[in-house]
Structures are given as C-alpha cells and as structure tokens.
C-alpha cells in the first residue's frame, strides 16, 4: 500500500517560516540583551525555548491546552509583538519587517484552522 504525502500550500509554508523567524528573532534579541557572554547565551536559548513551550501548549494544533480564538490570536500577537519590539529596540528594521510580513501573510492560514 502506497502512502501519500499531504500537500503543503504556500501559505502554510509561509506560516511555518514565520514561526521559525519568531524563534530566530527571540534568540537574536536574547543574545543582545544579556549583560555578559553567559547571560547572552542563556537568554538566546531561553527565550526561544519559552516561546516553543507556549506555542506547543496553547497555540499549536495539537496543544494540550489549545486556546480558542480570539485568545490564541492574542497570545500570538504578544509573542510576535515582543520579538518585533526587541528587534526595533536594537534598530534592526529589515528583520522586523520580514518577521511581521511573514506573520501577517501566514496568519490568514492560521486563522483558517492551520
């Protein structure tokens, strides 16, 4: 019996890329806000790990405590807003625009149940 791979549309791919960009932005911001090397490394790891834990539990489609909309959307906005604010604080405009652009396009898919 042959197995088939489900098709992934371009919006779903953009949604996934926005989530990866969120983690990268949080790691980048964490590295910048640390006062010393150890704090920078710890924050660069801890911020994305915290976001993954929150996403996996409250936002992801298989989360144990997945929030209903509009609460899920609100939590997403908090996570992406915090990452964007951190990038803006350090004047990283292009990554901010990329992060928010990916999120804006990918959110259409997320709200449709993805």
pLDDT in tens, 6-39: 566 788 888 889 999 999 999 999 999 988 999 9
pLDDT at residue 61, as a whole number = 83
pLDDT at residue 33, as a whole number = 92
pLDDT at residue 114, as a whole number = 47
Higher pLDDT, 8 or 55: 55
User: What number of CA atoms fall less than 13 Å from residue 109's CA on the CB side?
Assistant: 19
pTM of the model: 0.84
Q: Read out DSSP for 4-37?
A: -PPP--HHHHHHHHHHHHHHHHHHHHHHHH-SSH
Residue 112 to residue 114: CA distance in whole angstroms: 6
Residue 68 to residue 52: CA distance in whole angstroms: 18
Mean pLDDT of 61-79: 90
Residues of the chain with pLDDT > 70, as a percent, come to 88
Reported as a pLDDT band with limits 50, 70 and 90, residue 95 is very high
Domain ranges of the chain: 10-111
């Amino acid at each position: 019996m042959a197995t088939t791979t489900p098709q992934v549309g371009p919006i779903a791919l953009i949604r996934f890329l926005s989530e990866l960009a969120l983690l990268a932005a949080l790691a980048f911001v964490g590295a910048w806000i640390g006062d010393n090397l150890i704090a920078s490394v710890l924050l660069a790891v801890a911020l994305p790990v915290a976001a993954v834990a929150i996403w996996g539990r409250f936002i992801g489609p298989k989360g144990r405590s997945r929030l209903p909309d509009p609460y899920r959307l609100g939590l997403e906005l908090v996570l992406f807003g915090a990452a964007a604010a951190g990038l803006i604080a350090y004047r990283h405009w292009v990554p901010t625009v990329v992060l928010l652009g990916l999120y804006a396009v990918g959110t259409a898919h997320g709200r449709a149940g993805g």
